[in-house]
Amino acid sequence: MPGNHSRYIILDRDGVINADSDDFIKSPDEWQPLKGSLEAIARLNQAGFIVGVATNQSGIGRGLLDLPTLNAMHQKMHQMLTKLGGHVDMIAFCPHLPDDGCSCRKPRPGLYQALAERWNIRLEGIPVIGDSLRDLEAARAVEASPMLVRTGKGRRTEAQLEDSQDIPVFDDLALAVDHLLRSID
């Protein structure tokens, strides 16, 4: 299978890479990276990781932002990453509302499957870093390896986890990436 020489990782966006808001992130100005998150992505790139982002963006379906605005947010992220020597290889997003019944909105695994299809890989064992239960559930559905960060909704999510779930928990993306990079050395 092509691409097996590379390492892959999937990140949630809001609450993992950038600050989250219960009122949604609706503009490039509101899109603010969390401390150390962009540097962590650049370290992943330097270690040979292909980085994908999978993000629910129901703000589009709710009429709170449009596609050009979402693209402008992602352009801001790309520009900030470029300055640090980093990049995101692909962003998959779901614009649908929770009740739309789509296959892409997490906790359904459609966004992860779209990344896997694009990359022509299997998702078993691929690290997936998120801050919400739905990120972790979608990762489990495709046999990926979920990891939780305490940023964003992560502290609330951690309180919901059962001990038997055996999901590693880190204070933020930078510490999760430190752990990952140490484990592959």
Q: Which residues are catalytic?
A: 12, 14
Tell me which residue of 42, 48, 52 sits closest to 9, measured CA to CA. 52
CA distance 107 to 18: 20
Q: What is the DSSP letter of 3?
A: T
CA distance 30 to 93: 18
**131-167 burial code (b ≥16 CB/10 A, e <16):** bbbbbbebbbbbebbbbbbbbbbbeebeeeeeeeeeb
The count of other CB atoms within 10 Å of the CB of residue 41 is 28
